A and B are shown apart, each in its own frame.
Chain A
C-alpha cells in the first residue's frame, strides 16, 4: 500500500469558527483550483482562492452576528455552488460571486444550530426543534427530546421519500418521515456530526457516517424499515471527539477515503480494505481543534489536498504536492522571493499595528487617572468541553482559546483527582487547600508558550457533588480571566443508555408528593448527566442509565406527583434518595419516600463485579512480581527452572505494565465502591456498620467471591 505523504501549508486566518463553516466551492473541471468559502463568529463570510500561494479574496461580507453553519446548495441536478449561512434565526444565501439572493427569517424561537440544504428543501435544527421548509414554506416540524447536534437528509434524487436524519445528544440517530419519527438508531456515543457516505450516500443512498464526541466513527445504513450497522472505528488511542467528516479520494485509488477532523487537532485519513473496512492511512496533529474538513484542490491545480479549518480560524491545506526545496549555496536555506516579500509585508503591517496598539495602550493607562472612566474588556472566546469517558470512568476537560493561554486556575468544592494527560505540557502545581473556604482542589496550570489548548482528566467520586471552576487567563492585554463552571453531579459516572436488562433484581425507590413534572425533571437533571435541561414532551419520562465504572443500571420513570427509580446497585438508590430529599426540602415540598430492597440484588451486583475485581487483583499481583522476576532472570540467565506462569508474566511484562498504568487506582476505586455498597446496604436496614469496614477490607485482601457474599450477608447481624 502506498504511503500517504501530505505537506502542510497555511493559507489565511479568519475569526473564530463554528464547526462546519468552511466549504470548497465546486469547479466544473476536475482538479481545477477551487475557491474556499468560510464564515466565522464575527459574522464575516468570505470567499477566496489561492494564486501563487497568495490568497486572493473574491468577496467578503461585513461583520454581523455570529455565523453557526455554512452549507452549499443549488437546484437539484445542478452543481451546488450557492452558499447558505445561518446566524440567529436567519438563513442567508449568496451566489459564488457574493451576491445575496436569499434572506429568510424563520422566526424560530431557538437560534439555528444546524442546517442541511438540498435543492429547494431546507432543513434547520435549533437546540430541540427541527423544521423542514420547501421553498421557504414551513412543511414539517418535529420536537426532539434531546439536543440536536446535526442534520442530514438522505439524497433526494436517490431516495424516494424525504428522509431527514437527526443526530441527538442522547446517543441516537432519529430518522424522520415528514413530521413523525420513523425509528431511532442507538450509536456508540453522542453523535456530533453526520455525513453522507461516499458518493451521495453509498449504493442505495441510505448510508450515513457519524462521528461521536467521544471519538468514535461509524457507518450505518438507514433503510426505510430498519437500520443496519456497517462498521465502527473504536477510539483506542483516546483521541479527541469527531467534529467533522468528509469523503474524498486523496489516495487516488478510485475509492473515496474518509477524512476526519477531531477536537484535539488530529486530522486523519482512512482508506478502505478489500472488505470495505476502514484502515488508517494518515494522521497529523494541528495544534487547534479542527472545525471543518474537506478534500479538494486549492493551492495548485492538479494536486489533491485536505483542507482543514481550525477553531481559531486558520485555514490550512495538507497537500499531496511535494514541497519545493531550493538548495542554494551557503549555509542558509534559501527563502523564495515570494515568501520573502510576504514576510516583509507582514512585518511592516505588524509594525504599524504595534504603533497603534502602543498608542491605545497609553490611552487606556491614561484613563486610569480619570475617576469617572471605566475599564470594560470584552469577553474572549472559549471553546470548552467537559465529558465523561466510558473507558476509564473519568471526565475529560478540554479548554481552547483563540490566543495562547497563560495560566488556568482550577478550583473545586468537591474532592476530585486530577490525572496527568500526556498531550498536555503545562506545568501543574497544587496549592494547599482550606476546606473551610470550600476549596477541595486548588491547582494552577502554567502553560508553555503558544499553547492554545489544554486538556486534562478529572476523576470524580459518586455521591460527592458540586462545581469545578476554571479561571482561564490568556496572554492578551489588558489581562483578564474568565470563569467557567462545570457541574460534578451526584451520579457523575452514569451514562445514558437505551437498553435495560430486565433480568437483574432491582431495588426500587418510590417518591410521591405535590410536585410537577418539570420539578422532578429538574431534580433528576441535577443528579444525572446527559439529560436535557428542558423537560421533554409527554406526560411521563423514562430514562435508562448505565454506570460506566460498575456496569450497574438505573431506570428512572417519573411523572407529575410520582417518581420510580430502580437500580441493581443499592448505593445508586441511596445517593438518589439523599439528593432528591435534599432538593425537595430546599423547595419545601413534602415527599413520601418508600423503597423496596431486593436482598438478592447485592450478591448479583457482587457477581457482576467479580470478573473486574478478579482481573484487577491478578493484574496487580502480576505487576508486583515483574521486577523480582526480572532480577532473577539477570541472575540466572536461564529461565527453564521457572513455572510457565512466571515465564508468561516475564514475556508479557510490557503489556501488563501498560495495562496497569492505563487505569491508575482502579483497584482502590473498586474497593471504595464495594465499601459504599456495604455501608449503604446496612444503612437502609437502619444500622451503621462503619466499624466493620476494616474487616471488609481484610476480606477483600484475601478475595474470594463466596466469602465476600457471605460477609455481606452475615455482617451487621
Chain B
C-alpha cells in the first residue's frame, strides 16, 4: 500500500484549480496557491532548512508561508520560466481584469498587463516555433501570449469562454500545440494560431493535462475524466463527483505516467493511461484543490503533491521496486478468482433464465396466457419487436417544436417506460418517460429537443410487458440523431433571408445532396436533377436557410444565422474532405450589430476612465476627512468630529455606489468584447484551413489599429 511520505497542514484555504509549483530562486520548489481575500501564498520550507545548520528547530508551518496581496479576486495562478534559458520561474497571477507576472525572489513585478477579456486559465511554455516561451492566457473567447517583457506575440479567438489550457505535442512533430477547453463543450487544438482539430465533448472542459505518447487527459464539469489520443477518445469514465484537477505522473514506477485525478469529494485516484483502470486511490478530508509535482524534499526524487481546499497537502513518491506496481494492497490472486467466480455465477444465472424460459414455453400454450401470476411475470410473445422512428415535429400551442422519437411494440404488449441515455441534450445524462397507468399503450412518444447542432447517439431502454406486470423485458437499442435534426423543409413561399455566404467546391451536386440526406432528419431522401436548391426552416427560431448548388460547383447558403452558416460549411468541408476554403460572406445585419457593439465598447471605455478619476478624487477627500475628524476627536471637539464622520459616511456611500456602477459597466464591457471576439471567431468558422487562420489574424490587426471598415471587409471577403 502506497502511503504519503509527507503531510502538511497549511492553515490557509486553497482556491480550487489555483495551485502551482515554482522554483523562484531556480533551485527550491515552492508550493504556490491562491487563497481567500484576493491573496496568493507561497510556501517555502527550504530556506529555513538551510538556516537550521543541521540542528532540529521548532518547525512552525506558518512561518514558512508568505502572502502576496493581489487585492482582487484571483482567477488563475501559474509558475513557469519565460526566459529561454529557463532558470528562475516567474509567478503569473491572473484576475478578471489583469495579468501580473511577478518575480518572487526579488519581490518585483516583471510586467503587469490589462487583460480586458479576463484571465480564466494560464499556461506557460514553448508554443510551436515561437522562439521564446510564452505565458498564454485564456479569457472570454480570446487567447493571448506574452513573452518575458510583456509583448504579446500571440493572439487568437476561440468559440467561448476558455476554461482550461495546456501545451502538449499532440501531432508528434516535436513542437507543442496549444489545447484549449472552453465552455461550449469543445476542445480545440491550435498549432500556433491555426486550429488543427476540434473535438466536441458533453460538458464544459474544466481541466486538461498533457500525458506521454501524444496523449492528453481531460475533465468535464459533469464528472467525466478521460484520455484523448490523436483526436479520438481513448477511454473515459464518469463519476457522480467532479474532477477538480488532473495531472500526469508515473506513480507505479512502470515508466508510463498515469492520469491522477483529484475529486471534489477529496478522493485522489491514479488510473492507467491505457485502460482507465484504477491502480491507486487515497482520500483527503476535503475537496481536492490542485495536484502538482516537484522535488519538494530536495532529495532528487520528484513527488506527486496533492492539496485540498482546506490546506492539507500530501506528497507521494512513486512506488518502489518491491511493490511491483501493486499499490492498493489487494490480493491479485483472490481478486482474479473472485472475478472469475462472479462471471461463472452470472453465466449460470443466464443459463437458468433460458432453461426456465424453455420450461415455461412447453408448459403452456400462448392461448393460456393471462393468469394473474403470468401477467405479473411479464411474459411476452417471443416475436415481440420494438420499433422506433424519428420525426421532426413543428410543435403547436402546447408543445414547443421538437424531434419526436416514437417507440412502439409490434403487438399488444405495452411499453411501461422509456429511458434514454444521451449526452449533451438533456439536463442530466438521461431522460425518462413514464406514463400513468391509465395512459399505458403499446406506443410511447418522446420529445427530444437537441440544444445544439451536433450528432447524438440515443441509447434507448424500453420496459416492455403487460399492464399489471411487475417484471418487464428491457429492450436496448441505439439510434443516432443526425447533426441538423431541428430543421424542417420549408414551404415554397418562404421569403429569402438577406444574408448569404457563397463559395465554390470542386464536387458533384449528388455528393452534397448525399450529405444533406445524411445530416438532416428527412421523411424521405431528397433527389434532384441539375441544380440543387432546397430550403429548411429552423425550429429554434433562427429563420429559414437555403442551400443552393449549381452544376459548376458554386454553392450559396442563405441564412441570417452566422453560427449556422459556419456549422454548415465546416460540416460540408469535413464531409467532402476540403482542406482550405475561401468564401464570400454577406451578413449585413451582423455587421450592423458589430458596428453598434464597437461603438458601445468605446463608450464603456470612456465611462470607465471617468469613474476611475472620480474614485481617485474621492480617496483624496477621504484621507483629509479622516485626519480632520481624528484631530477633532483628540481636541475633544465632539461636534466637529461627528460632522466629519457623517461626511465620511456619505462619501463612503458614494464610493460604494460608484463602485457598483463601475462593476456593471465592466460587466457590460466584458459582454461586448466577448461579442466582438465571437463574431471574429464565427467569421473564421465560415472558412476552412489557412483562410480561417488568416481571417482571425487580419481581424485582430484591424481591431488593433481601430480600422472598422477594414474589419468589415475582412469578414466579408476573407482578406483586407
Contacts and interface: CB of A to CB of B under 8 A. Distances in A.
The judgment on whether A and B are partners is: yes
Contacts of A402: 345, 349
A1 interface: no
A697 B5 CA distance: 54
Interface string B339-361: 01111111111111111111011
B67 A444 contact: no
Interface stretch (B123-131, B156-164, B296-304, B328-336): B328-336
Interface string A412-453: 000000001010011111111000011100111010001000
A402 B325 CA distance: 32
Interface stretch (B199-207, B375-383, B487-495, B557-565): B375-383
Contacts of A8: 331, 334
Contact of A368 (B341, B358, B383, B472): B383
Contacts of A374: 360-361, 366, 369, 379-382
Interface string A337-349: 0010011001101
A634 B379 contact: no
A473 interface: yes
Given A354-B347, A630-B13, A429 B340 contact: no
B436 A331 contact: no
Contacts of B374: 376
Contacts of B429: 427, 429, 444, 446
Contacts of A409: 417, 419, 432, 434
A446 B239 contact: no
Interface string B238-270: 111000000000000000000000000100000
Given A346-B340, A364-B357, A374-B380, A427 B240 contact: yes
Nearest to B323: A333
B431 interface: yes
A651 interface: no
Contact of A10 (B35, B338, B350): B338
Contacts of B473: 375, 377, 478-480
B349 to A, nearest CB: 6
Nearest to B253: A331
A631 interface: yes
Interface stretch (B140-148, B420-428, B533-541): B420-428
A443 B432 CA distance: 8
Given A10-B338, A367-B361, A378 B352 contact: yes
Given A336-B333, A479-B474, A372 B366 contact: yes
Nearest to A429: B428
B435 interface: yes
Interface residues of A, number: 81
Contacts of B347: 350, 353-354, 357
A480 B474 contact: yes
A259 to B, nearest CB: 21
A349 B344 CA distance: 8
A439 B418 CA distance: 14
B343 A350 contact: yes
B382 A375 contact: yes
B344 A634 contact: no
Nearest to A354: B347
Main secondary structure of the interface of A (DSSP, over half): mixed
Nearest to B367: A372
A343 B343 CA distance: 13
Given A364-B354, A476-B350, A427 B67 contact: no
B461 interface: yes
* Range, interface on chain B: 35 or more
A480 B472 contact: yes
Contacts of B345: 13, 312, 402-403
B337 A346 contact: yes
A632 to B, nearest CB: 9
B430 A429 contact: yes
Contacts of A333: 324, 326, 332
B331 A323 contact: yes
B471 interface: yes
Interface in B1-50: 12-13, 35-37, 39
A471 interface: yes
Interface string A349-364: 1100110110011011
A279 B325 CA distance: 36
A619 B267 CA distance: 28
B39 A373 contact: no
Contacts, number: 223
Which residue, A480, A481, A483, has most C-beta atoms of chain B within 10 A? Answer: A481
Nearest to B385: A368
B384 interface: yes
Nearest to B343: A350
A339 B361 contact: no
Contacts of A450: 342
A627 B366 contact: no
Contacts of A473: 461, 474
A337 to B, nearest CB: 11
Interface in A1-60: 8-10, 13
Contacts of A442: 432, 434
B114 interface: no
B225 to A, nearest CB: 13
Contact of B361 (A356, A373, A635): A373
Nearest to B36: A631
Contact of A357 (B333, B338, B350, B430): B350
Contacts of B342: 450
A407 interface: yes
Interface string A276-293: 000000000000000000
B37 A371 contact: no
A353 to B, nearest CB: 4
A302 to B, nearest CB: 21
A499 interface: no
Given A9-B334, A368-B383, A481-B474, A627 B354 contact: no
Contacts of A641: none
Nearest to B377: A376
Contacts of B340: 343, 346-347, 350
B107 to A, nearest CB: 19
A598 interface: no
B476 interface: yes
Contacts of A635: 37
Interface in A370-396: 370-380
B657 to A, nearest CB: 23
A483 B239 contact: no
B480 interface: no
Contacts of B381: 371, 373-375
A540 interface: no
Given A343-B336, A481-B463, A481-B472, A356 B383 contact: no
B470 interface: yes
B362 to A, nearest CB: 10
Which residue, B348, B349, B426, has most C-beta atoms of chain A within 10 A? Answer: B349
A648 interface: no
Contact of B471 (A332, A354, A483, A634): A483
A379 B357 CA distance: 11
19 contacts: A13-B341, A353-B348, A357-B347, A363-B358, A368-B382, A370-B382, A374-B361, A374-B379, A376-B374, A411-B432, A411-B434, A428-B240, A428-B428, A431-B426, A437-B434, A476-B350, A481-B474, A482-B470, A634-B37
Given A375-B357, A375-B381, A634-B39, 15 more contacts: A357-B351, A361-B354, A364-B357, A373-B366, A374-B360, A374-B382, A376-B360, A402-B349, A409-B432, A411-B434, A420-B240, A432-B427, A450-B342, A476-B353, A483-B469
Interface of A: 8-10, 13, 312, 323, 327, 331-333, 335-336, 339, 342-343, 346-347, 349-350, 353-354, 356-357, 360-361, 363-364, 367-380, 402-403, 407, 409, 411, 420, 422, 425-432, 437-439, 442-444, 446, 450, 471, 473, 475-484, 627, 630-631, 634-635
Give 5 closest A-B pairs by Cβ, nearest first: A429-B428, A373-B382, A479-B474, A376-B360, A360-B354
